[in-house]
A and B are shown apart, each in its own frame.
Chain A
């Protein structure tokens, strides 16, 4: 059974940093593109970042230079290092498994990041 479990969310002050993790199980992790998608309270889905199995990285313009996505295929885990966080980045952050052939077919339950003083 495919499972994606996010962790690392919490309360952080504006300008602060946080590192999210997504632990994967039930599939060959290294074969898939992994992504982070966020959803602000009451808003729609916003793509944040993706990383291929070979560690090519992609970022939304809004986070480029502040966020870093990475993965450890030996630990079946992807990460999102978030620096210089802003209040408007308060959101639930979802981890998603992607495949060009079958869409983004599995999602974690999400982890809440609250940026507030």
Chain B
């Protein structure tokens, strides 16, 4: 089983700041099958990025993804008020299709 670890657990930032979220895998993950999701309270997850660096439909370009092997990053170039949420990474290339524990981005 591929275990995903996310850091930091909580990120306190201000609107306009840059946010960098990390996802580390216990073994190599194909970059084709690494995704990021955003979740707000009481709402289902929303796909942000797939294939490491491709933005899902309707996702603004302030979101970007990078990485390979065991280290992946989601970057939000300038935080907007609606970006304060929990972010999960997921590998969906091989079963079990694991999620990371999440990074909560809250307002400083």
Contact = CB atoms under 8 A, between A and B. Distances in A.
A105 B96 contact: no
A47 B50 contact: no
A104 B95 contact: no
A100 B93 contact: yes
A60 B99 CA distance: 12
Nearest to B30: A100
Categorize the interface residue count of chain A.
20 to 34
B99 A45 contact: yes
Interface string B73-107: 00000000000001010101101111111100000
A35 B97 contact: yes
A90 B51 CA distance: 31
B55 to A, nearest CB: 11
Contacts of A46: 99
B97 A100 contact: no
Interface string A85-110: 00000000010001011111111111
Nearest to A60: B96
Nearest to A92: B44
A108 to B, nearest CB: 7
Given A50-B95, A58-B97, A107 B46 contact: yes
B92 A98 contact: yes
B69 interface: no
A1 interface: no
B93 to A, nearest CB: 7
Given A60-B96, A98-B92, A104 B101 contact: no
Nearest to A98: B92
Contacts of A98: 92
